Structure 1
């Protein structure tokens, strides 16, 4: 498949391409999503030098009983199939209470009918990314494994239906990135794919290819040979018309005859958000964070410790959408 750039949501194009969601959090998090005027007055968004990158932060100074102020940006355009490339230099750190996500959601159909694609997501002190699809009934993917060479991650669940029997509520179909202990094998680079470890290597590029027959996600750490080869400004031709067939196995690939990927995922918009607690981070609080923090509930910890969330920000170099020629 040959691709050509259709939308460049980078630098000065970024903020005009997104709206701010400021309704109550659908996942019942301890978070208050801010509108544009409030986000601006609280310095939650802006540009960072020296690269003129996008800053999307959270409040890290205030104790607020109704939830920590944060952002949820949703693209005003939506897409069907194609290749999404996001250059991310920093994401919210691996820390108790946080639930950051870079994902896609249907703009035209109710959830989960229109589908959800979680490209980069985790909670609390996670070290590895989880790539997950959420749909209504009737989307099951093949459980191909790393051993088959299809992808480098590990499939945790294979039924994308949010109500699938035998899976946790809203588990969807999920592939876990290789653990940071064994790294992500990308040329010579072995890099963690999420949170603090991701930030330590200055992040990299996450790319998601969506075709009729599959959804795949790659991660290219910034210091890797493949990042230099495919995404550095010195190689303008490769950046302008990327070719995933040359990229090697992705971190995650969802495929198989049990799911029609062009029917189950419709009019997808891009979302960046940072939530706290709620239906994932809050639900698993007792597994590690209660003991580690000495605080009984996620909400109390997030409310009383604003300064620990200074690193809970996204720094985005840019997002591009490329479509088939």
Structure 2
């Protein structure tokens, strides 16, 4: 219908003034040089031991292979009670304010009981400078959750300009007073996360963060990734409606500042552990019991990254 065409045109008009140039590449050969290895206790109380760089390399948890990067977890050893399964959490050395972030993955760790992987961005003094969860899920989940966490006075509304689903009870992004749910938009396609994502050969996530909104697109490798992304000249105006658009009662620039890129795979904790009683409870009495005593269950709990690139609006460079 004509009115629907007009609304879509108006929705995409917000992207038309931007011309994006490559600001930060993460070359495969030197990928890990651009990250710090976080090796403190897990802030989300997971059954995990985040290891530093030397251990990650020597234990085979990270490596480059051809044109891709591998990041995995220990899947060989039973872990003593009170310990955590070795894994990695990478935090970018570079800090960002706005940008177009494009991640091409061949594989992710999701869809496995006990796991809680994420690709996300976070600012200092959490949650007052924001968190953007681009890829996230727990246990056997097969659809991606995209979530914001902020300080007070940030909420989102369904503007009808994205293809995901916004639960009515997840529109307040405020995490400052102990409500860690945040505001969320959920994918509906089963190739957006976990086993379905991997069976389709992975895919590409693009996240545009500017003063107006935070928008996320996804393309499965079983389909067609836009040619402008492949050529290194991304043009969001040609991509159609995003999977998610976070916009509404939120001053984006006040709520999201000085963000770093993070990859991690944790186990159990505040999400995967607290939802263990669903599809996974037949495997062990608790999530922690299962994670510590079943190393081979996590053979496929790994990331394979084909590329990560950050673009900036030419007008802002």
TM-score by length of 2: 0.90
Q: How far, CA to CA, are the matches of 2:176 and 2:54 in structure 1?
A: 38
Aligned to 1:32: 49
2:270 is aligned with 1:289 = no
2:234 is aligned with 1:242 = yes
Give the CA deviation at 1:93. 3.5
Is contact 1:85–1:319 with CA below 8 Å preserved after alignment?
Answer: yes
Aligned to 2:182: 172
2:178 is aligned with 1:152 = no
CA deviations 1:93-121 (Å, max 9, x no partner) are 41110000000011xx3100110000000
Match runs of 1:1-325 below 5 Å: 1-49=18-66, 52-65=67-80, 66-106=83-123, 109-144=124-159, 148=160, 150-156=161-167, 157-162=170-175, 169-180=179-190, 192-225=191-224, 227-232=225-230, 236=231, 239=232, 241-256=233-248, 258-291=249-282, 293=283, 295-325=284-314
Q: How far, CA to CA, are the matches of 1:10 and 1:43 in structure 2?
A: 20
Q: How far, CA to CA, are the matches of 1:228 and 1:141 in structure 2?
A: 28
Secondary structure of 1:43's match?
A: coil
Secondary structure of 2:112's match?
A: coil
Is contact 1:153–1:251 with CA below 8 Å preserved after alignment?
Answer: yes
How many positions carry a matched residue from both structures? 293
Secondary structure of 1:154's match?
A: coil
Alignment RMSD: 1.3
Secondary structure of 1:162's match?
A: coil
Give the CA deviation at 1:228. 4.9
Aligned to 2:5: none
Is contact 2:29–2:64 with CA below 8 Å preserved after alignment?
Answer: no
Consecutive unaligned residues in structure 2, runs of 5 or more: 1-17
Consecutive unaligned residues in structure 1, runs of 5 or more: 181-191
Give the CA deviation at 1:260. 1.0
Q: How far, CA to CA, are the matches of 2:241 and 2:65 in structure 1?
A: 33
Is contact 1:78–1:268 with CA below 8 Å preserved after alignment?
Answer: yes
Give the CA deviation at 1:163. 5.1
Q: How far, CA to CA, are the matches of 2:261 and 2:126 in structure 1?
A: 15
Q: How far, CA to CA, are the matches of 1:63 and 1:312 in structure 2?
A: 16
Aligned to 1:188: none
Q: How far, CA to CA, are the matches of 2:217 and 2:41 in structure 1?
A: 32
Give the CA deviation at 1:288. 2.0
Aligned to 1:187: none
